[in-house]
Structure 1
């Protein structure tokens, strides 16, 4: 009986999702793990600020976050399991801080990289970028690349970084100087923790509602490269009369109950998450953002530690009274980059420059190196 009701619920949800996505089923995805039996390969494991990143042959193939509460100082060794013949291992020491902590090496204090004031006239899209205090190199790379898009330069699109505070006062001091000079950073009054990322997303919605007159709001990360003009074209394909939730949408994802990434029943009692767009890049219409801000101000907004799942929850709640157009595309890339991408994720500053150079020559091609 339990199985029958579960199947019925899944069938109902799948049918509902098909109507809004306009797609009979998800296309098959072949994950790009370039392993061939009997052939050598070079695997690189990089410990980043937010998690591990794995590349094979210089190409990014996957990433995963640290377990809650883990710090790099806790690492004591690396174990490799499975039928793999290891020819050689080369290890470098863990950095004592993020490699871009020396802002003088990456910040170019030039007038041409300063942000334009946000237009008082209505604009089409506001983009909020989640960033960390010491990600000076990442922000500089974004300023020098896709923030130079014609729609942003013409003030039809506005962009701001959203950054919470660092435990180290000297980092916050440098961040304040950067914000004062470039004029594109919103400093949030709380310490930067994974569990509080959802508050950054709410802050993006609140800024887009109260400080900008915009039709749509986009959220992305500071290692996401955005083809702004292409995203605008995708938005134009949707009727302006409809509420919109656009991105790389997940259907019937189940929470993990065991292991490092476990979600407890107290945190999430349901068997599946609502449809939600992957966090590196998604778009909502301003009426959805207004709803989120209003619910938050009334202390009735349900918060969850995964910000992208939270957005899916909020949109589902909004959709119960106002129909929402769910718009899905794999080209809002969750992992790395694909040809003709809309957004590319896990892009290093060097890759950002490379992508922008290719895009300026009319090529939406990837840059598969670190």
Structure 2
């Protein structure tokens, strides 16, 4: 062991002799004397360069961290690679869409199967692209209408809502002939958001042959896109049908009563649409509301009359006309009101049903006799649809 004085002398001695193996000596305080350490210039330069590179690397890494937007059309953006594809889209229009895949796994060195995704230029709520030429079918049933159905029921539903689809398949969706007229029921979904969910959906499609899927992000905000894709499918895949109905997955439909309405001699077969009519409805400008629509998307303070979106019936000449006029109508995210705006632009007035009480938004306490009279009503859950169907169909 050497003392402080000896250690200081050791430092000075080695510094004077230029010993190359001594780079740093501790600063020592002994008897009021300070022995200064000597640091080689090359060592100082090395430490300085290392420090600068560390700062640069840290700053660069931080700047590349992904930013999460509160209103994102597709929340896998920071995990995906995009591949643009130009193809013939819906209605035979050219469109640009893309595939996305998960980034390559660093450990397994594998990539997931590509899944179709919408290409968007702007995630802003002030820009809403609803025309179906921007989208493409992933799953399709183009031959379903070869048997010339009289009525086509199109059900927009979320990809994961298997129970809702199965409930409809077991109840009103199972009816293929009503009062001697052919009826067809199909489900329309958007993107699943994952390869496993997509595989399950494809298996369901192979089993039931009643699914149509397009490459838009399936969300509440995109219901107008969903509805316009339905309209385009009807116009391009099933123009020979006489009537169609857009029906949400949580409603109960009495097809006997619906068919009686459509077969009535007073029911037009062209330019006809009816349901629960929404009159003099103001546009919601509260940004906290899920029904918010900006003035940029729809500047008028009131909507024109439109049919409430849970279930409305229309002659099947309208889909093509609505799709065509939608090129001139800026899209916004309230799907039923948007259809009403398109109809107003076309100059068509909605028809009030002969008995407005047959199109119901909600029911109170369940009464069998009420469900024997209605055409459609929202009931809330797949199990309720099953229970009501069983009770309504039982012998009197």
- CA offset at residue 226 of structure 1? 1.1
TM-score when normalising by structure 1: 0.61
Q: Is the 8 A contact 2:155 2:249 kept in 1?
A: yes
CA deviation vs aligned residue, 1:133-153 (integer Å, no higher than 9, x gap): 110111001000111235269
CA–CA separation in structure 2 for the residues paired with 1:345 and 1:257: 26
Q: 2:344, 2:212 → 1: CA distance? A: 28
User: Displacement, 1:294?
Assistant: 2.5
Q: Larger relative contact order (C-alpha < 8 A, sep ≥ 6)?
A: 1
Q: How does 1:83-122 map to 2 (within 5 A)?
A: 118-122=144-148
Query: Is 1:265 equivalent to 2:265 in the alignment?
Result: no
- Counterpart in the other structure of 1:30: none
Choose the corresponding residue for 2:151, options 125, 134, 155: 125
Change in CA separation of 1:240 and 1:259 when aligned onto 2, cut-off 3 Å: closer
Measured after TM superposition, the shift of residue 155 of structure 1 is: 6.6
| CA positional deviation for 1:161 | 0.1
Find the partner of 1:222 among 234, 249, 266: 249
Alignment pair present for 1:236 and 2:269:
no
Do the aligned residues in 1 keep the contact of 2:305 with 2:350 (CA within 8 Å)?
no
**Distance in 1 (alpha carbons) for counterparts of 2:349 and 2:161:** 38
Q: Who wins on radius of gyration, i.e. which is larger?
A: 2
Mind listing any 5+ residue stretches in structure 1 that lack a counterpart?
A: 1-67, 71-114, 364-370
Are positions 1:332 and 2:332 aligned together? Answer: no
Q: Unaligned 5+ residue runs, structure 2?
A: 1-69, 73-140
Match of 1:186 among 212, 220, 225: 212
| 2:152–2:185 Cα contact (<8 Å) kept | yes
Q: CA-to-partner distance for each residue in 1:107-147, whole Å, 9 max, x for gaps? A: xxxxxxxx9x7342433211110111110111001000111
Cα distance in structure 1, aligned partners of 2:176 and 2:389: 13
Count of equivalent residues: 247
Q: Distance in 2 between matches of 1:350 and 1:160?
A: 20
* 8 Å contact kept, 1:129–1:222: yes
The equivalent of 1:309 in structure 2 is 337
Q: Deviations over 1:242-301 (max 9, x none)?
A: 5211100011011122252233222322121110111110012122211012234xx334
Superposed, 1:202-217 pairs within 5 Å as 202-212=228-238, 213-217=240-244
Cα shift at 1:222: 1.1
Alignment of 1:59-208 (within 5 A): 69=71, 118-149=144-175, 151=177, 156-208=182-234
Q: Secondary structure at the match of 2:281?
A: coil
| Residue in structure 1 matching 2:311, options 281, 289, 302 | 281
| Residues 303, 249 of structure 1: alpha-carbon distance in 2 compared, 3 angstrom cutoff | same
Quote the residue 2:390 is aligned against: 357
TM-score (norm 2): 0.57
Whole-angstrom distance in 1 between the partners of 2:319 and 2:200: 31
- Whether the 8 Å CA contact 2:176–2:184 is kept in 1: the answer is no
Aligned residue in 2 for 1:342: 375
How far, CA to CA, are the matches of 1:248 and 1:336 in structure 2?
14
Report the CA distance between 1:312 and its aligned residue. Answer: 0.9
Which of 329-338 and 221-230 deviates more?
329-338
Q: Offset of 1:69 from its aligned partner?
A: 5.0
Change beyond 3 A, Cα 1:323–1:354 = closer
Contact 2:246–2:312 (Cα < 8 Å) also in 1: yes
Q: 1:323 to 1:191 in 2, by over 3 A?
A: closer
